[in-house]
A and B are shown apart, each in its own frame.
Chain A
Amino acid sequence: MRVWEETLSVPVGRLAALYEEHVGRAVGLATLLTGDRYVAEDIGHDAFLKVAGRFGDLRDPGAFGAYLRRTVVNMCRARTRRLGRERTALDRQVPHEAVDLDSRAEDRDELWPAIRRLPYRQRAALVLRYWEDLSEAQIAQAMRCSPRAVNALLSRAMATLRGEIRRDAG
């Protein structure tokens, strides 16, 4: 049976090497996308389990990092969506008290809170471009959208950040 043979053919040593090579970067990416180091560690680890779990089904096992990156982006997006939904449900049930999410982060630069306030897709495009150093085509693949959409997301993100800097300077 081809499926069984391929999916069970990754030795433990190779798994460990894949883990050490890719998961640290995945956790970094998840941290930048979620803003939460501990959640990011869970996402990085779970994403590895997911992708390694279907290693035999990958069209290009050599592109493990790209598959992992795309999975991390999707999992962070799902978490952000869920948080938005939970917040909406709680807002309907209890009186709202403002919570400064940014106060938990170390604000080494006023730009970081501004990046965290970007809509998720703009933030993801920005992080993939400037931290992962990906091309627009690679970002489009990771975010499953068109390169044109990536270009628009990056333009909007940069416009917003420029506005924030101008406001701070003013």
Chain B
Amino acid sequence: MNETGLERRIQDVLDDNAPAWPRSMPRGTAFKVRARQGVTAVAAIGVAVALVLASIGLVSAIPRAVTRPADRQTEHPPTVGVLPSPQATAPINDVTEAPPAESTSGEDTRGVPVHSWEPYTDQQEGQEAYLVTQKHVVAYGHVKGLEWSLAAYQTREYAGAPISPGHFNGGPCGDLFVGDMGEYGGMTICLHTDETASGAQFAMAGFGNGYVPEGYDPEIGPPISGYAGVVGSEIARVELRLADGATHELTLYAGPEGVDARYFDVFVDDGAEGTIVALGQDGSELGHGQLCLGPVPHSPDNVGCGKGLLGLASVVTRGG
């Protein structure tokens, strides 16, 4: 079948499966629209008032900002975080450390950011039940041409619900997602999970996405193997020690205000073997985890592993 024939057949199939819906506006719709318009207007007024108040606050805060301590200022973007690929065609990889959050309390009312130039954060309905701070992106970049983002946040204990990632024990958590809208899925990691000790200083997990549509160039896009983790204040540095003997020190990203933890992530080649080791000030090992993913299967279902793994979000593939 030639291209035109296939296009025609797609049009016919879509026409066949799209229902006709010749229905007039149901009663009550106008009232609901009016109600929404009222809410929108009130919200617009609220935003305007908030902007005025924020402007006043910003002006009064400028002298304090000048004298902020050095440890609160933005660090230079790191150069390590994504391993070079041994493959002939160099994929598009980069990493950027996000600036610290100015305010982290309450719920992020912006909803799911959908602008492709804004790092993705996974916002869920009802997340205020376990969120103590907003989800704040601490690092983002590209791996094999796809956007990724690492978000940090503080949680309280929460028994969980079917649509939440799972049972939160409270403490620092984070999300690693791939795709400019998270469409390649991701994972939720926490320092304190059912599989880590309550006083844990190190937790990590792996996330793999291997869905490669037929005819798709595997140099750009999946399979993707990533690891991310959370460390406590006793950890001085984190190293990736590959089975071939190579060692990489991983960048630790400070959590936003209200999150007393640092985060790391690294993308490795499919099937990479090795260990991620957390070291104390004196160089002693305080925790470690194996690169547990292995070769990522070519399947729409993502894979995850590791004691710090709280939940896994699958790649978006199938409709209703």
| Per-position 1/0 for A14-30, Cβ under 8 A of B | 01100110011001110
CB of A80 closer than 8 Å to a CB of B: yes
Known: A89-B166, A119-B213. A144 touches B316 (CB 8 A): no
Are B319 and A88 closer than 8 Å at their CB atoms? no
Which residues from chain B contact A137 at a C-beta distance below 8 Å?
none
In angstroms, Cα B33 to Cα A10, docked, is 10
Which residues from chain A contact B10 at a C-beta distance below 8 Å?
111, 115, 126, 130, 161
For window 105-129 of B, CB contacts with A under 8 Å fall at 112, 114-116, 124-125
Which residues from chain A contact B70 at a C-beta distance below 8 Å?
none
Q: How many residues of B contact A (CB 8 A)?
A: 68
Are B163 and A163 closer than 8 Å at their CB atoms? no
Pick the contact of A88 from B25, B26, B211, B314 — CB < 8 Å? B314
For window 80-110 of A, CB contacts with B under 8 Å fall at 80-90, 92-93, 101, 105-106, 108-109
Which residues from chain B contact A3 at a C-beta distance below 8 Å?
41, 44-45
Distance in Å: Cβ of B225 to nearest Cβ of chain A: 19
CB of A68 closer than 8 Å to a CB of B: no
For window 129-170 of A, CB contacts with B under 8 Å fall at 130-131, 144-146, 149, 156, 158-163, 165
In angstroms, Cα B317 to Cα A3, docked, is 41
Which residues from chain B contact A80 at a C-beta distance below 8 Å?
316, 318-320
| Per-position 1/0 for A31-56, Cβ under 8 A of B | 11111110111001100111011111
Closest 10 CB pairs of A and B: A53-B36, A159-B215, A28-B18, A19-B25, A24-B21, A36-B320, A163-B214, A131-B14, A35-B319, A34-B320
Chain B residues in the interface with A (C-beta under 8 A): 1, 3, 6-7, 9-26, 29-30, 32-41, 44-45, 112, 114-116, 124-125, 162-166, 180-183, 185, 211, 213-216, 300, 311-320
24 contacts between A and B (CB under 8 A): A8-B37, A8-B41, A10-B33, A16-B24, A20-B23, A27-B21, A33-B319, A39-B320, A44-B21, A53-B36, A55-B37, A56-B40, A56-B41, A79-B320, A80-B316, A84-B315, A116-B319, A117-B317, A117-B318, A121-B181, A144-B115, A162-B215, A163-B214, A163-B215
